[in-house]
Chain A
Amino acid sequence: MGPGSIAVRKLNVRFGEAHVLKDVSFSVGAGESFGLVGESGSGKSTVLRVLSGLNRNWDGVVEIDGNPLPQRPDKAFFRSVQMVFQDPFASLHPRMTIDAILAEPLAIHGLDQPDRRIERALAEVGLDGGFRFRFPHQLSGGQRQRVAIARALILEPRILLLDEPTSALDVSIQAEVLNLLQDLKLRLGLTLLLVSHNLAVVGHMCSRVAVMKLGRIVEESDIDSLRKQGGQDAYTQELIAASRRVALATA
């Protein structure tokens, strides 16, 4: 498989007694957008934490770019897989300027020309240079999420993991951030793995989706057939019905 591909087979995660991921298997091709949906506690964020190397206790096989992911990945791995978190109010250090936030990953990975890279990363997410020496509290929620995306992209990753990237934002800002992510994906050829409880958002961004419930993938389908035929699993049908119920209003 090419660079940017993800393959997960029989992934199991336990926290003490709790068995939170049970035989999770899926694969994402290079440059593809894949969605994970399910209610809170279904294990979708844990999948992302394993893939990003934040959770080191797992069993099974995980392959990134066709190479098996070790339990303790090296620095190069972290450069190729980056994550954007849900809450832009909690994920940026409140006492660091945007400049310092973006410079840190560059220093860790020893990349040259930090100045040029920071400028380019800010431009990529549509923020002008005036934001560079501000603090997070001087930015709106949408601007902060753009900074979080810039921090992920500054290392030029192949894979972007998105954990509910827009659920803390207003719908108008959500549209802007989703458009930005689409543009970046096309321009940089990124592989996206998007976790969300909003099926409409996943449907907009992704071509395929896996539905999780209680630590298992209960169904995997491409979005088109989900749209046309509905889901096989009862829980999938419930999710589709819920998103249609609210979408009904705009009909």
Chain B
Amino acid sequence: MTEEPPLVEVSNLRVRFHTPTRIVEAVRGLSFSLGREKLAIVGESGSGKSMTGRALLDLVPWPGEVQADAMRFKGQDLLGMSGEARRRLRGRHISMVMQDPKFSLNPVMTVGRQIAEAYQLHRKAGKAEARDRALAMLEDVLIREPSRVFDLYPHEVSGGMGQRVMIAMMLIGEPDVLIADEPTSALDVTVQAQILDILEKLVTDRGMGLIFISHDLPLVSAFCDRVIVMYGGRVMESLPARELTKGQHAYTRGLLGCLPDLDRPVRRLATLQRDESWLRGG
């Protein structure tokens, strides 16, 4: 059996923003590789987890600057690739579900047409076929009346439904790698479980690679295979998801410690004590 290159390889990724007064370092030296698995990137807001996803897709907004020793998709060098080539990968091979459906869907186009458009673009398909596929996709993400929802505008759907529309749109191109940025944080627990089942199935059945960006530690510990814990653009710790609770780093322990637990009532919640040295060390 020949060795298959990992789906994604990133080595020493840095994302910087040059502002008039200073340089903001969003990601400082991140390295990881992704196979056909569920990799979680966790951390608080501002830890650089979303920027990592955007850097892979070449979607870091101006004036951001991306540098890395290596960044490869299935062995192809992403850094040396033209903008046009990166664009062809986007959506078709690597796609990203953004955090907030309110701001990520086109407000003046029905959600069904947006999903069908994605299919037409990536698959060079006709209109009727794209419509059928979009309806099937809406059904796959557990939307009860796909033909009714197809004709709704984004402002007419709830947050949870909007999130599922986004997931449908990103999956219709059948990408090899899906980056999901807080895909379930707007959903109710029951719907959340269903969406996770869909993602799980795609990873096991189709061999998709999933990068799951989240700040919900218990959720990723239960759902993902591996976890990278980020703080201030740096990796604090990388470990198997099931062993997240055995994490050694003070930051991981701090994050776990401040969660309320139904079965272990405490009078006061522990708060996170941050340490400057986390940003300096390796």
Contact = CB atoms under 8 A, between A and B. Distances in A.
A229 interface: no
Contacts of A238: 189-190
Contacts of B263: 227, 244, 247
B260 to A, nearest CB: 4
Nearest to B159: A40
**Contact size range, A:** 35 or more
Contact of B262 (A39, A197, A240): A240
A27 interface: no
B222 A246 contact: yes
Contact of B188 (A40, A178, A179, A182): A40
Contacts of A240: 262
Contact of B269 (A39, A204, A223): A204
B244 interface: yes
Contacts of B190: 39, 238, 242
Contact of A170 (B44, B160, B262): B44
A248 interface: yes
A249 B218 contact: yes
A113 interface: no
Interface in B169-207: 188-191, 193
Interface residues of B, number: 35
Contacts of B188: 39-40, 197
Interface in A186-203: 197, 199-201, 203
A40 B266 contact: no
A90 to B, nearest CB: 11
Contacts of A204: 260, 265-266, 269
A200 B254 contact: no
Contacts of B269: 175, 178-179, 204
Given A204-B269, A249-B217, A249-B218, A175 B258 contact: yes
Interface in B46-70: none
Interface string A208-246: 000000000000000100010000000000111011111
B272 interface: yes
B271 A179 contact: yes
A141 B245 contact: no
B256 interface: yes
Residue picked from A174, A200, A246, most chain B C-beta under 10 Å: A246
| Nearest 9 interchain pairs by C-beta | A175-B258, A246-B218, A204-B260, A249-B221, A242-B189, A39-B188, A172-B272, A175-B269, A170-B44
Given A39-B190, A197-B189, 8 more contacts: A39-B188, A141-B45, A200-B259, A203-B265, A204-B260, A204-B265, A246-B219, A247-B259
Interface of B: 44-45, 158-160, 188-191, 193, 215-219, 221-222, 244-245, 254-256, 258-263, 265-266, 268-272
12 contacts: A170-B215, A171-B44, A171-B217, A172-B44, A172-B271, A175-B258, A175-B259, A175-B271, A239-B189, A242-B190, A243-B262, A247-B218
